[in-house]
Structure 1
Amino acid sequence: MTPDLVLDWRAPHETHVAQTIGVLRRGPGDPTFALGADGAVWRTTLTPAGAATVRIVQRAPDLVRVEAWGPGAEAAIAAAPSMLGERDDTTGFRTGVEVLDDAHRRNPGLRVPRTARVMESLVPAILEQKVITLQAHASWRRLVLRFGSAAPGPVPRPMRVVPSASGWRAIPVWEWHRAGVDPKRAATIQRVAAYADRIEEAADLPHAEASARLTYFAGIGAWTAAEVAQRALGDPDAVSVGDYHLAGYVGHALHGRDMNDAEMLEALAPWAGQRYRVIRLIMAAGLRGRPRRGARMAFVDHTAH
Structure 2
Amino acid sequence: MTSEVIRRLTPPERYQFGASVRPLLVPKHDPCGLWRDGDFWLAARTPDGPATLHLARAGGDLIATGHGPGARWITDRADAIAGLRDDLSDFLPLAMRHPLVGRLAKTFSGVRLPATGRLFPRLLRAILEQKVTGKEAHRSYRAICRHFGEPAPGPVELMLPPDPAAVAATPYWTFHPFGVEQRRTQALLRAAQVAERLERCADSPEATARMTALPGIGPWTAAETVRYAYGDPDAVSVGDFHIPNTVAWALAGEARGTDERMLELLEPFRGHRGRVCDLFALGGLGAPKFGPRMPVRSFARF
Question: For the superposition of Structure 1 and Structure 2, which TM-score range results when normalised by the shorter chain?
Answer: over 0.9
**1:184 alignment counterpart:** 183
Residue of structure 1 in register with 2:57 after alignment = 58
Counterpart-to-counterpart distance in 2, 1:247 and 1:133 = 18
Cα distance, 1:148 vs structure 2: 2.1
Superposition deviation, residue 233 in structure 1 = 1.1
The residue that corresponds to 1:256 in the other structure is 253
Indicate the residue corresponding to 2:154 in structure 1. Answer: 153
In 2, the alpha carbon distance for the partners of 1:181 and 1:285 equals 32
The counterpart of 1:301, out of the listed 284, 298, 301, is 298
For 1:34, the equivalent position in structure 2 comes to: 34
How far off its partner does 1:64 sit?
1.3
Structure 2 distance, partners of 1:267, 1:151, is 43
Q: 2-side partners of 1:123 and 1:164: how far apart?
A: 11
Partner secondary structure for residue 52 of structure 1: strand
Deviations along 1:147-175, one digit per CA (max 9) or x if unpaired, are 121122111xx321112111212334443
* Structure 2: distance between partners of 1:296 and 1:255: 24
Partner residue, 1:71 = 69
Q: For residues 233-274 of structure 1, give each alpha carbon's deviation from its aligned partner in whole angstroms, at most 9, with x where no partner exists.
A: 111100000011111122222222211111111111110111
Of 187, 210, 214, the residue aligned with 2:211 is 214
Give the 3-state SS of the residue equivalent to 1:8 in structure 2.
strand
Offset at residue 3 of structure 1 (A): 7.1
Q: Provide the residue aligned with 2:283 in structure 1.
A: 285
Q: Is the Cα–Cα contact under 8 Å of residues 15 and 85 in structure 1 kept in the other structure?
A: no
Query: 1:230, CA displacement in angstroms?
Result: 0.7
Distance 1:286 1:3, change over 3 A: farther
Kept in 2, the 8 Å contact 1:34–1:41? The answer is yes
Q: What runs of 5+ residues in structure 2 fail to find an aligned partner?
A: none
Q: CA deviation at 1:291?
A: 2.3
C-alpha deviation, 1:75, in angstroms: 1.2
Q: In structure 2, the residue corresponding to 1:151 is in which secondary structure? A: coil
Paired position in structure 2 for 1:117: 118
Per-residue CA deviation, residues 27-66 of structure 1 (Å, 9 max, x unaligned), is 2121112122x310111111122211111113355x2111
- Separation in structure 1 between the aligned mates of residue 244 and residue 184 of structure 2, nearest angstrom: 24
Q: In percent, how many aligned pairs have the same letter?
A: 36
Report the counterpart of residue 229 of structure 1 in structure 2.
226
Counterpart of 1:166 in structure 2 is 165
Segment of structure 1 superposing worse, 91-100 or 189-198: 91-100
Q: TM-score, normalised by structure 1?
A: 0.91
State the one-letter code of the partner of 1:221. Answer: G
TM-score (normalised: structure 2) = 0.92
Distance 1:2 1:172, change over 3 A: closer
Matching residue's letter, 1:33: G
Corresponding position of 1:245: 242
Matched letter for residue 200 of structure 2: E
What's the offset of the Cα at 1:14?
5.2
State the number of aligned residues.
Answer: 298
User: Quick one: distance in 2 between partners of 1:163 and 1:278?
Assistant: 31
User: Hey, what's the Cα distance between the residues in 1 that align with 2:210 and 2:12?
Assistant: 31
**Residue matched to 1:143:** 144
CA contact under 8 A between 1:20 and 1:112: conserved in structure 2? yes
**Matched residue of 1:166: which SS?**
helix
- Shift >6 Å, 4+ stretches: none
Give me the whole-angstrom Cα distance separating, in 2, the residues matched to 1:105 and 1:169. Answer: 44
Quote the offset at 1:6 in angstroms: 1.0
In the other structure, the counterpart of 2:10 is 10
The Cα of 1:195 is off from its aligned counterpart by: 1.0
Q: Does 1:130 align with 2:131?
A: yes
SS of residue in 2 equivalent to 1:126: helix
Query: Any stretches of 5+ residues in structure 1 without a counterpart?
Result: none
Check conservation: 1:222, 1:240, Cα contact below 8 A.
yes
Cα contact 1:237–1:276 (8 A) shared by 2: yes
- In structure 2, how many angstroms separate the alpha carbons of the residues matched to 1:83 and 1:29? 19
With 41-50 and 86-95 compared, the bigger mean Cα shift is at 86-95
